[in-house]
Amino acid sequence: MKIATFNANSIRARLGIILNWLKSEKPDLLAIQETKVQDLEFPKDAIESLGWHVIFRGQKSYNGVAFVSKVPLKIVQNRIYPNDLEEDARFIETEINGVRIFNTYIPQGFEIDSPKYQKKLQFYKDLKAYFQKNMKPGEPALWMGDMNVAPTEIDLARPKENEDHVCFHIDARNALADIMKDTWVDLFREKEKGPGHYTYWDFRYPPAFSKNIGWRIDHILGTKPMVLRLKKIWIDKKPRALEKPSDHTFLVAEFS
């Protein structure tokens, strides 16, 4: 099984990149975040006309999550607050080949003194409660997406300058560590222990990509059964170098 995650930063703007990547890499499943499109305008026909299947939940201009796959999928759940009809489109759950798959776009947080940052920390708490309520211990599962947290100093190029950044602040890192404890394993770090590996390079600093001044904030996390099945995992940087790319790139994993 080959799976991947990608923050598209607008699926309509990045549709060509996504379709070409699907054609060349042929994953069993691709999780997409920041589709930035309401469901009625999602480019479903363009994707399905090439033989892929897609499920999604979106909203106008912001957020949005989707799965693209080789086989038909069902939405198990698309909210962590099922009774909140105004919940942002940040979560979708499905199952493939007997594996539970969760796709999340965690709030970025804006600034550490902003209510948006507190919303980010609360989202992690609520997501932990969702996992505890809806998952069985030790079942095969993957949690993937843009977590908007670089877990350790080697996961961003400039840790000292970013100690108070909402994606590296200690409270955000602790929130991710708390939800991972005893359940989720960072699969990338199972295979690669060193620094310099990033999935996001900020558009606001144009030389970021060429100088590899980035962040590893997109993750594929697995339960213990998936750790045992992991064959390899890598960051595909090539799409980030294309014309009009997303500020993120693809993270890919293969399992036996």
Catalytic residues: 105, 146
- CA nearest neighbour of 236 among 206, 207, 198, 201: 198
Contact by Cβ (8 Å): 236, 249: yes
> What is the H or E stretch that residue 131 is in?
helix 115-134
The tokens for 145 are 């997406």
Q: Beta-carbon neighbour count of residue 256 at 10 Å?
A: 7
Output the CA–CA distances (angstroms, integers) from residue 225 to 137, 172, 256, in the order listed: 11, 27, 11
User: How far is Cα 169 from Cα 3, in angstroms, rounded to an integer?
Assistant: 29
Put the strands of the sheet holding 230-236 in their side by side order.
53-57, 65-69, 29-33, 2-7, 250-255, 230-236
Q: Which residues in 49-59 are b (16+ Cβ under 10 Å) and which e?
A: eeebebbbbbb
Contact by Cβ (8 Å): 64, 47: no
